[in-house]
Amino acid sequence: MTGDRKPPAINNAAPTQASRTKLNRRKFLARTGGALAAGAFGAVPLRGWAADPINIGALYPTTGSMAQIGTGCVAAAKLAVDMVNEAGGIKSLGGARLNLIVSDVQSDTTVTRTETDRLITGNKLSAIHGCYASALTLIASEVCERAHVPIITGSSSDQLNKGRSYTFTPFARASQFAKAQLQMAKLVSDQAKVAVIFENTAFGTSTSNGLKELAPGEGVEIVMFEPYSAGFTDASPLINKVKASGANTLFSLSYLNDLILIVRTVKQVGLDIAINGGSGGFVMPDFYKNVGKAAEGLQGVAHWNHDVNEDAQKVNAEFKKRTGEFAFEYAGGLVAQTFMLADALERAASADPKKVREALSTLDVSSGYAAMAPGGKVKFGPDGKNVYGRPVGVQWQNADLASIFPKEDARAPLIKT
Amino acid sequence: MWETLAQAVINGLLIGGIYALVSIGVTLIFGVVKIVNFAQGEFVMIGMYISFFLATQFGIDPLVSLVVSMPVLFLAGVLIQHFLIRRVLGPNDMPQIFLTFALSLLLLNLSLMLFSANYRTVHTSYSDEAWHIGGLYIPLAKLIAFAVAMALSGLLWVFLHTTDLGRAMRAASQNRDVAMLMGINPNRVFAVAFGTALALAGAAGSLLMPFYSAYPFVGQVFVLMAFVAVVMGTLGNVMGALVASLMMGIAESLGIQFVGADSGLIVVFGLLLLTLAFRPSGLGARRGR
């Protein structure tokens, strides 16, 4: 923090506008003393302020059990802000730059509540994005609702679209994921026989029930429907049952560790079955690192994939350069979200959060980084849901995720295993 | 039907070998030092991380890294016994319980901090391999783990029955006070017992690594089964713990196969209650005691 006040640091930040930056930085420091104090507790103002910067709050779990994903999200958020700023910032506000204020929600619901509160009261925010995990986003969005600050999120819980007017969800909802998974089962075989195994937790039970309800409508037969205790030591008995059921597709609603065991056991048994691992941890670079070659051919669903269009590929290349990994669904979606915010700020011509909310609610884009999503268009309905939002079916091919479903979004053919 | 049953028994037996390594450690410490080591699972976790890092940094096969994880944990056990456990051995049980429990929490949170909560997996050429015999299959990594676990248990049995130190440990386990009166040095015996128990936990960790993921909470999965096996096989009885572990592996597997995939533990605990109802001191208890 002290280093920031020394002239060399300022020159380093923006050599061409050194004198202007110096003045503004002083003003900025005076105005946001609270934010700097909060910095000691994890809220860190990042570089990128020029003329009256626009503060965007970012709530991600950068410590705790979801730390790795949260850190990836922050990397994507920084990338997005840099992209907007390098393109000239918000022109209707005199080229104002976006200033990202990151806050760590520690993978914990209680911390999320207090951090969201602190972020809002300690800073003059125009909007917030976060928090990766639906459980955390649900809480943050409640706080945002009360404080009248818009929040845009890639979290998929349908709950986020209920009774909220400051929450915007530009990507596919959880209910749509289930439908897409069932339709993908029909790619494997005309007579889709699906075995559903799910961990006996809230996540597993609710998702599997969704699948069960939708299956008849999609013409998919569920031949096995079995809960299991999460964190088992051996997947063999479960896979024995799957084998006996005669299914040709396996839906495994599991967290990473169980899923790795399941995939390995399927290979060991030599069972010829297509596996759909759903979303979440399954569509992360880490999954492939853990499972290795056995992951090849496995299918999943995502709300974003880096091959959806050329813009997404550009983002992916830059993200890869910065982090060494391909842009996972949430990271790429986050870049699109930042551009949606920039579009809203541009039209609102104001940094006032209420005006930004108004502008978001009338957002209608079909080109550029803001529209980089499956479906290629973003327009929010009254419930904050993107009316064009849809998931994309993906498959692990050559250590990378390829979009294979639906036809309009498919960028590679399905490899039958 | 018979094929499914046979497969379920094979699966259970193989995982039971790993449970055995953990539970033998717990029962050995209880038998000799007379304390319950709540941190045993965390030492399995440490064994896993040792193997993981040796595999990823130096390309050492997890099975080979057994020769590192076992001595390292043996030494850790001796030091923990000498500097921590020894100080709280007394008539009162409470400090011992708190000590090992605190050790468990400390190691768990330390590893969360150092290694994060991510799952770490090692890939070996045999990780996804299996032998197919008739309609049955035997996963290679688990078969190796089982064989090594049984060999180590056998070695321990030989050590306990043929060496002076081993006999001293058994004597201390049967009646500590009399053993002391016979001139057995308790500190030496306790240190070796604790070290051996931790070395077994380390071995379990290394053997698990080719087919299971390492993460900070991994020990908790195995230590629960270990405690059940220790009680079922009679506290302090090495052979009892071994047999009970294998039985529980099979019970769990049959439970998942025939009752429901979330009911493996129901069968295990049912079996425990049944055992205790008919043999309150466990399977390994001598009659008439």
A330 and A275 housed in the same domain: no
CA distance A101 to A98: 10
Q: How does pLDDT run across B25-41, given as a tens digit for each residue?
A: 999 999 888 889 999 99
Residue A146 lies in a domain: yes
Residue A220 lies in a domain: yes
Identify the burial level of A117 via C-beta atoms within 10 angstroms of its C-beta, where 0-12 means exposed, 13-18 middle and 19 or more buried. Answer: middle
CA distance A99 to A58: 10
3-state secondary structure of B42: helix
Name the most confidently modeled range: A27-36, A311-320, B259-268: A311-320
% helix, strand, coil for chain A, step of 5 = 50, 20, 30
Q: How confident is the model at residue A27 (pLDDT cuts 50, 70, 90)?
A: low
- Candidates A233, A255, A264: best to mutate against B (most CBs of B within 10 A) is A233
Q: Which is nearest to A287 in space by CA: A296, B221, B57? A: A296
Instruction: Compare CB distances from A226 to B129, B221, B261 and report the shortest one's residue.
Output: B261
> Average pLDDT by consecutive 10-residue portion of chain B (289 residues)?
86 93 93 90 96 94 95 96 89 88 94 84 85 88 94 94 92 83 88 95 95 90 90 90 94 87 86 91 68
Q: Angle, nearest 10°, between helix axes A236-245 and A256-269?
A: 60
Q: How confident is the model at residue A39 (pLDDT cuts 50, 70, 90)?
A: very low
For chain B, domains (ranges, CATH) are 2-117+132-278 (1.10.3470)
Residue A338 lies in a domain: yes
CA distance A30 to A47: 16
A105 and A202 housed in the same domain: no
A329 and A298 housed in the same domain: no
pLDDT score of A14 more than 70: no
Q: How confident is the model at residue A9 (pLDDT cuts 50, 70, 90)?
A: very low
Q: How does pLDDT run across B181-224, given as a tens digit for each residue?
A: 888 888 889 999 999 999 999 999 999 999 898 999 899 889 98
Pairing type for strands A125-130 and A167-168 reads unpaired
What's the whole-number mean pLDDT along residues A337-349? Answer: 96
Q: How confident is the model at residue A24 (pLDDT cuts 50, 70, 90)?
A: low
Backbone angles phi, psi at A404, to 5 degrees: -125, -5
Shortest Cα distance, chain B CAs vs residue A197, angstroms: 9
Is residue A126 within 8 Å of A152, Cβ to Cβ? Answer: no
Residue A17 in contact with partner chain B when CB distance is under 8 A: no
How many domains, in total, are found in chain A?
2
CA distance A4 to A25: 9
Instruction: Compare CB distances from A264 to B119, B211, B215 and report the shortest one's residue.
Output: B211
Residue A246 lies in a domain: yes
Closest CA in chain B for residue A269: B137
**Residue B212: its chain A contacts at CB < 8 A?**
233, 261
Instruction: Compare CB distances from B8 to A240, A291, A294 and report the shortest one's residue.
Output: A240
* Per-residue pLDDT at A338: 97
A96 and A137 housed in the same domain: yes
The residue that leads in pLDDT, B201 or A259, is B201
Domain coverage including residue A203: 175-302+393-409
Residue A1 in contact with partner chain B when CB distance is under 8 A: no
Closest CA in chain A for residue B211: A261
CA distance A138 to A156: 10
Residue A26 lies in a domain: no
Residue A168 lies in a domain: yes
A128 and A142 housed in the same domain: yes
A404 and A258 housed in the same domain: yes
H/E element, A225: strand A221-228
CA distance B29 to B282: 17
- Transcribe A66-123 into DSSP letters: THHHHHHHHHHHHHHHHHHHHTTSBGGGTSBPEEEEEEE-TT-HHHHHHHHHHHHHHS
**Residue A267: its chain B contacts at CB < 8 A?**
128
pLDDT score of A319 more than 90: yes
A165 and A229 housed in the same domain: no
* Per-residue pLDDT at B287: 53
pLDDT score of A40 more than 70: no
pLDDT score of A67 more than 90: no
Backbone angles phi, psi at A269, to 5 degrees: -70, -25
- Candidates A63, A254, A257, A289: best to mutate against B (most CBs of B within 10 A) is A257
* Per-residue pLDDT at A367: 93
Q: How confident is the model at residue A269 (pLDDT cuts 50, 70, 90)?
A: confident
A378 and A402 housed in the same domain: no
Residue A251 lies in a domain: yes
What's the whole-number mean pLDDT along residues A31-47? Answer: 45
Residue B120 in contact with partner chain A when CB distance is under 8 A: yes
The interface residues of chain B toward chain A in range 40-99, judged by CB-CB distance below 8 A, are none
Q: How confident is the model at residue A34 (pLDDT cuts 50, 70, 90)?
A: very low
Residue A94 lies in a domain: yes
* Per-residue pLDDT at A10: 39
Lowest mean pLDDT among A88-102, A371-385, B121-135: B121-135
pLDDT score of A25 more than 70: no
What's the whole-number mean pLDDT along residues A369-390? Answer: 94
CA distance B203 to A397: 36
A268 and A401 housed in the same domain: yes
Q: How confident is the model at residue A66 (pLDDT cuts 50, 70, 90)?
A: confident
Query: With left for phi above 0 and alpha for psi between -120 and 50, is residue A163 left, alpha or beta?
Result: left
Lowest mean pLDDT among A31-40, A148-157, B48-57, B251-260: A31-40
pLDDT score of A52 more than 50: yes
A166 and A182 housed in the same domain: no
pLDDT score of A8 more than 60: no
* Per-residue pLDDT at B172: 84
CA distance A357 to A350: 11
CA distance B17 to B249: 8
CA distance A348 to A336: 18
Identify the burial level of B90 via C-beta atoms within 10 angstroms of its C-beta, where 0-12 means exposed, 13-18 middle and 19 or more buried. Answer: exposed
Q: How confident is the model at residue A416 (pLDDT cuts 50, 70, 90)?
A: confident
A275 and A400 housed in the same domain: yes
% helix, strand, coil for chain B, step of 5 = 75, 5, 25
Lowest mean pLDDT among A30-34, A51-55, A130-134: A30-34
A165 and A205 housed in the same domain: no
The residues, any chain, with a CB within 8 Å of residue B29's CB and separated by 6 or more, are B35, B36, B37, B40, B193, B194, B197
CATH number of the domain to which A282 belongs = 3.40.50.2300
What's the whole-number mean pLDDT along residues A221-243? Answer: 87
Omega of the bond prior to A131 within 30 degrees of 0, cis? yes
CA distance B253 to B243: 16
* Per-residue pLDDT at A13: 40
